[in-house]
Amino acid sequence: MNLRQTIEEIVEKHLPDASHFVVDIQIVEKGPKKSLHILIDADQGITIETCALVSRAVGEEIEAKELMDTAYVMEVSSPGVDFPLSSRRQYQKNVGRSLKVTLENNDTIEGKLTEVDQRGIRMVVMKKEKGKKAVEESLDLPFEQIRKSIVVVSFK
């Protein structure tokens, strides 16, 4: 098991409950110091207090097990709105919101996320044909065709 997987197991163990989940773990080496970036989220959103609790518990266990061989900086946070969705659970959390999806063929689709299942997502998009009124169309996208999905934030 590599260091990243070990740290992921430690983080999962210290999450408050089953509604919380790990989004990403990155170990970045710049010069003599390492940075450990841990992204966590929850089905109903995450608080800064939860990030702080997880940070303390994970840091203590990393130190006790001497997993990092040099000095490091650890950051535990939630993914920002500009962070791409990477798991089915993140998609599920964002049902009802607008997404901008880039496909493997570089096409971009923007619409409302309406469903998530094991195979992919369903979105409602506005389809406009020349000389006609725009109509809503349901579109199914398998996960393997999706390169990147970002939640579109609206200030309306």
Distance, CA of 42 to CA of 90 (rounded, Å): 9
Distance, CA of 6 to CA of 9 (rounded, Å): 5
**pLDDT tens digits, one per residue of 54-101:** 999 999 999 999 998 888 999 999 988 788 998 899 999 999 999 999
pLDDT, greater one: 128 or 102: 102
3-state SS, one letter per residue, for 47-114: CHHHHHHHHHHHHHHHHHCCCCCCCEEEEEECCCCCCCCCCHHHHHHCCCCEEEEEECCCCEEEEEEE
Dig out the tokens for 62 from the structure. 């990393």
Q: What is the residue type of 81?
A: V
- Mean pLDDT of the chain, nearest integer: 92
Distance, CA of 143 to CA of 150 (rounded, Å): 14
pTM of the model: 0.79
Domains and CATH numbers, the chain: 3-77 (3.30.300.70), 88-151 (2.30.30.100)
Q: Among the listed ranges 41-45, 85-89, 98-102, 129-133, which one has the minimum average pLDDT value?
A: 129-133
Highest mean pLDDT among 65-79, 96-110, 122-136: 96-110
Distance, CA of 128 to CA of 115 (rounded, Å): 22
**pLDDT tens digits, one per residue of 136-148:** 899 999 999 999 9
Q: What angle, rounded to 10 degrees, do the helices at 3-14 and 48-64 form? A: 130
pLDDT for residue 1 is more than 80: no
**Which pLDDT value is given to residue 148?**
95
pLDDT for residue 130 is more than 90: no
**Which pLDDT value is given to residue 29?**
87
